[in-house]
Amino acid sequence: MKQSHYFLKTSKSSPTDDVSVNARLLEQGGFVQKVMAGVYSYLPLGWRVLSKIENIVRQEMNAVGGQEIFMPSLHPKENWIATGRWTELDVLLKIKSQHGYEYALGPTHEEIVTPMSTQVISSYKDLPIAVYQIQTKFRDEARAKSGLMRGREFRMKDLYSFHSSEEDMEQYYDKVVESYKKTFERLGLNALYTEASGGTFSKFSHEFQVETESGEDTLYVCEKCGMAKNKEVFQDGIECTACGLTTWKQISASEVGNIFKLQHKYSTNFNLKFTGQDGQQNLVYMGCYGIGTSRLMGVIVEKFHDEKGIMWPEAVAPFKVHLISLKGGEEQAEKLYNDLLTAGIEVLYDDRAASAGVKFADSDLIGIPYRVVVSSRTLEKNSVELKKRSESEFSLVEIGAIVSWLAK
């Protein structure tokens, strides 16, 4: 992609109405644009990052047998009345149409996926089964001041699983835990597996929490074994269930995932039953499993940046290489750009007629992992200058060898 024609303008001035690092860097870097508090447009750079995050999540969901679907955002009021959440869920966004109907904008999808499944699940032979989607959610959040970390419109992956027995539900839940660990690892994040309150349907739920100062949650982490508990459920003097110690340290963290054993909660509401081997009708056991994909993008920026800008982990970087041409290097840079494209390497090519200072500052702000500079100076040595965003030293690499080096 040539930067001269890319839908991208970086900005020197930081937004005044949001102090979070992720909001500042993502807006200044031209990844997202704030439409109003908690609502963002994703520009091409930002959409590439979000898509990469969501594709990693998608791959890991497919690996645990999840089948991808897509449900609507506009929900009938009746479904939310049926579960009691029309009045109980404080963040539910409700709308009235001019034709006298009332709707909810989906904050989560148990109210849609459960009645949907009554059409598909009728026998023990249909179970277990799991479906997921990656979708835009709406919540009427009181405060939306942490950039992508708390939106009123945001992205979430939600998986729902259906089982004939509690044991089967438990087994699948454990499988999803492993899948989540792998997902967050691939995203370059150390997510703490955390005990949290279970809501109304079970004793505990589990959250995946990333330590960051800007996180809104407080965790207690066992000093010895690293087991974590959310402050909401924590009692002073409590023993760690993993190692028996009672010394905990307090940290701030952001919840990037939450998984629940729903038991019969929603299958009762929508009469989701199956016929067992014995011919008896039984309620289906359900689990639900969320990951906040747009919050993840914000959290990644909170974790990976310096004073100059973002430092994307390679797995989610918008491009692998930022190619920059400086005076006298234009012709060779153009050729190298084409060679990189041919080799299938994702490259943003800064072909603009701007100063080295401007180009380097933008490159540091945008945070692409490898910067390659071609100028008359580097060409004198038949080379390009290669620098990792995460390092301060650069090296000269022979121009004929750079494509294969980057392809590695």
Q: Provide the binding-site residues for ligand ATP, judged by CB under 6 A.
A: 108, 139, 141, 150-151, 154, 156, 255-258, 290, 292, 294-295
Based on CB atoms, which residue is closest to Mg ion, 232 or 331? 232
Tell me which residue has its CB nearest to Mg ion.
Answer: 258
Residue type (1 letter), 222: C
Q: Which does 139 bind (CB under 5 to 8 A by kind): ligand ATP, Mg ion, none?
A: ligand ATP
Q: How far is the CB of 327 from ligand ATP (least distance, A)?
A: 44
Identify the residue whose tokens are 């449900």. Answer: 71
Q: Which does 46 bind (CB under 5 to 8 A by kind): ligand ATP, Mg ion, none?
A: none
Q: How far is the CB of 141 from ligand ATP (least distance, A)?
A: 5
Based on CB atoms, which residue is closest to ligand ATP, 139 or 389? 139
Extended beta strands in 183-247, E state: 191-197, 204-211, 217-222, 228-230
Tell me which residue has its CB nearest to ligand ATP.
Answer: 292
Question: Which tokens in the block code for residue 348?
Answer: 């943003």
Q: What is the four-CA torsion angle of 255, 257, 262, 266, rounded to 10 degrees?
A: 100
Instruction: Please state, in angstroms and rounded to a whole number, the distance separating the CA atoms of residues 371 and 15.
Output: 27
Q: Which of 28, 258, 269, 325 binds Mg ion (CB under 5 A)?
A: 258
128 upstream amide cis, omega within 30 of 0: yes
Question: Which tokens in the block code for residue 345?
Answer: 């390497």
Q: How far is the CB of 255 from Mg ion (least distance, A)?
A: 5
Q: How far is the CB of 290 from Mg ion (least distance, A)?
A: 7
Instruction: Tell me, by CB under 5 A, how many residues bind Mg ion.
Output: 1
* Binding flag, residue 293, Mg ion (CB under 5 A): no
Question: Which tokens in the block code for residue 237?
Answer: 């003097």
Based on CB atoms, which residue is closest to Mg ion, 108 or 375? 108
Q: How far is the CB of 136 from ligand ATP (least distance, A)?
A: 11
Q: Which does 269 bind (CB under 5 to 8 A by kind): Mg ion, ligand ATP, none?
A: none
Q: How far is the CB of 149 from ligand ATP (least distance, A)?
A: 6
Q: How far is the CB of 294 from ligand ATP (least distance, A)?
A: 6
From the list 67-75, 108-116, 256-264, 301-309, the region that binds Mg ion by CB under 5 A is 256-264
Based on CB atoms, which residue is closest to ligand ATP, 66 or 292? 292
From the list 44-52, 137-145, 253-261, 314-322, the region that binds Mg ion by CB under 5 A is 253-261
Length of the chain counted residue by residue: 408
Q: Which does 257 bind (CB under 5 to 8 A by kind): ligand ATP, Mg ion, none?
A: ligand ATP
Q: Which does 141 bind (CB under 5 to 8 A by kind): ligand ATP, Mg ion, none?
A: ligand ATP
> Rounded to the nearest 5 degrees, what angle is found at the Cα of 309, between the Cα atoms of 316 and 346?
35
Q: How far is the CB of 71 from Mg ion (least distance, A)?
A: 19
From the list 14-22, 182-190, 221-229, 250-258, the region that binds Mg ion by CB under 5 A is 250-258
Q: Tell me which residues touch Mg ion (CB under 5 A).
A: 258
